[in-house]
Amino acid sequence: MVTYAGAGALLGFVLVPVVGAVPGFVGGIYLAERLRLGGHGQARAATRAVMRAAGTSVLVELFACLLIVGAWAGRCSGAEAAGPGPGDGGGVCPGADPPGGDRRDPGRMRDFEGFSETEWAYLTEDRARLGRMATVDPSGQPQANPVGFFPREDGTVLVGGFAMGRTKKWRNLRENPKVALVVDDVVSVRPWRVRGVEIRGEAELLVGPHDLGPHFSEEVVRIRPRRIHSWGLDDSRGAGS
């Protein structure tokens, strides 16, 4: 009986939004009793008895659940049309994009085989001057720092600083060369659009002359990417917003 009543309420809710759950629920109980008892009169009387006994309270609870499901489904469909917002959490709607994710390929990290044209254009444009580099110290504690970065045509990325050799990130990389670099920005707030590139790889510590500029110390980190992920770079609406 419970199965018939629940299925009837759900079907009624879908066919006649919201209010259809009530006749669907009662119809489900009637169908179950009709199959059990065989006659219309007996099934009708049994349905009234069930509704008097506990059916009303069950219907109220089921109706509330259906309203919640309907509101959730409406939110997901609306979020899919509008795109992710600054307060959206990941995993709220099945198949939804992660915040700021690429709608065509959400959350995909790929093996690095060179920068794509859009990645290279983004990393070398004038306003992409600052990234955040993450390293790990000997105790396993991650550390992230804002850094200046310089993509090279050979696929590596140089990171410099005013006194790089005296920094904790330099000491971290001497012990553990694993490194990650994120470069991103907010293109538009309304609607919410972000774009960026994440690079994971290994670092080489270089000391000596370089072409990064006179204000940088002779110590330079060269990142050799192993994996890369980018998002929002192909949105033609982005750059001018």
pLDDT digits (tens, 9 = 90+) for 180-237: 999 999 989 999 999 999 999 999 999 988 888 788 888 999 999 999 999 998 754 3
CA separation for the pair 58, 24 (Å, rounded): 13
Do 183 and 128 contact (CB within 8 A), yes or no?
yes
Q: Are strands 142-151 and 157-160 parallel, antiparallel or unpaired?
A: antiparallel
Do 216 and 210 contact (CB within 8 A), yes or no?
yes
Q: What is the pTM of this model?
A: 0.55
Among 194, 196, 206, smallest CA distance to 157 is for 206
Q: Which of 11-15, 50-54, 120-124, 224-228 has the highest mean pLDDT?
A: 224-228
**Token pair 């990064």 is at which residue?**
212
What residues does 148 pair with on adjacent strands? 130, 160
Residues of the chain with pLDDT > 90: what percent?
A: 39
Dig out the tokens for 67 from the structure. 């309203």
Count other C-beta atoms under 10 Å from residue 194's C-beta: 19
Up-side HSE of residue 146: CA atoms within 13 Å toward CB? 4
Q: Which of 6-10, 91-95, 173-177, 216-220 has the highest mean pLDDT?
A: 173-177
Dig out the tokens for 7 from the structure. 């299925």
